Amino acid sequence: MLAIFLKTLPFFLLIGTGWLAGRTRFFPAEATGWLTKFVFYFALSAMLFRFAATLDMGRLFDPAFALAYLCGSAGLWALGFAVARWRRQPLVTAAMEAHTAIIGNTGFLGVPMLVVLLGERAIGPVLMVLTIDLVVFSTLITLIATCARQGRVRLATLWPLLRGIVSNPMIVSMLAGLAWGGLRLPMPAPLDEFLALLGASATPGALFAIGASLAGRVAERMGPALWLGFAKLVLHPLAVGVAALAVFGVEPYAAGVMIAAASLPVAGNVYILAQYFGAGVQRVSAAIVISTAASIATVPVVIHWIAKG
């Protein structure tokens, strides 16, 4: 257990360093925004392209894996939505709380950390989780919020949504990498070294950016935030674990990667959505802070359990 904790500690120390830099204003909010943009559009895209280029669709898309993650996450989404409605929250706020309970920081934290901790075999399952989060659940919250605002869903509303999904750099880089690998195109050594060099900056850059962005967040609405943090760090990995191992019979290693990905703290882009739709902004912000801080202890426990088999 101590060995796993020591392996994960450098990742969280990078987050802490970013938080300290942001908190002391040595790294202002404007700098955090530009660093996040660099990581999102360049460094992480290079890493994902290079990873995806080594895969084939058969390794990436496992129907049992996809169904297990979808069903486990959807079950918790429904629970989170029901709890919020029981507390008499508006429809969009309830949907945002449900979204917060299942969307982890797979892109900025999960991809670099889980591949290092669990090995390169984790690439396919991690990318599958990331794709489902981006394509299915981000679309769901957008449709619910848009429908609640306008009373119905129009084609004019769907087009920007579809365009946003298709143009997402993470989706584009993964699809481009899969196409490259699927066509069996050779990877010239200079290109491979360029992608490796640029992709190597994704891990420190993303983790530093996470910490710096947390420095400006205020932990308010603690009651709902604690519930959402618990749902994300404990109930989400439990839900997908039951679905993967007890219902769909997912191969143990892939199931372990799924559970580890589900144990990650709430993603920062959930806050962006909450701000955009004006729903549950304070509780989402607090849930990100709480879950990220608590994950220093919870993620090593999950990784240790997975490593024991």
Residues 111-122 pLDDT 10s: 889 988 898 889
Count other Cβ atoms within 10 Å, centred on residue 301. 15
Q: What is the model's pLDDT at position 148?
A: 76
Buried-state track 70-96, b at ≥16 Cβ within 10 A, e below 16:
bbbbbbbbebbbebbbeeebeebbbbb
Q: What is the DSSP letter of 266?
A: B
The Cα 286–Cα 288 span in angstroms is 5
Asked if residue 34 has pLDDT above 70, the reply is: yes
pLDDT in tens, 37-50: 999 999 999 999 99
If we measure between CA atoms, which residue out of 33, 30, 90, 80 comes closest to residue 278? 90
Q: How many CA atoms lie within 13 A of 193 on its CB side?
A: 3
Nearest to 236 by CA among 105, 120, 84: 105
Pick the closest to residue 250 from 129, 140, 136, 113 (CA basis): 129
> Phi, psi at residue 42, to the nearest 5°?
-120, -65
Radius of gyration for the alpha carbons in the chain, expressed in angstroms and rounded: 19
Token pair 């299915």 is at which residue?
136
Report whether CATH 3.40.50.300 matches the domain 2-27+56-169+201-308.
no
pTM of the model: 0.90
Residue 104's DSSP bridge partners are 266
Going by C-alpha positions, the residue among 107, 132, 12, 134 that lies closest to residue 51 is: 107
CA distance 214 to 36: 13
Average pLDDT, the chain: 90
Domain boundaries, the chain: 2-27+56-169+201-308
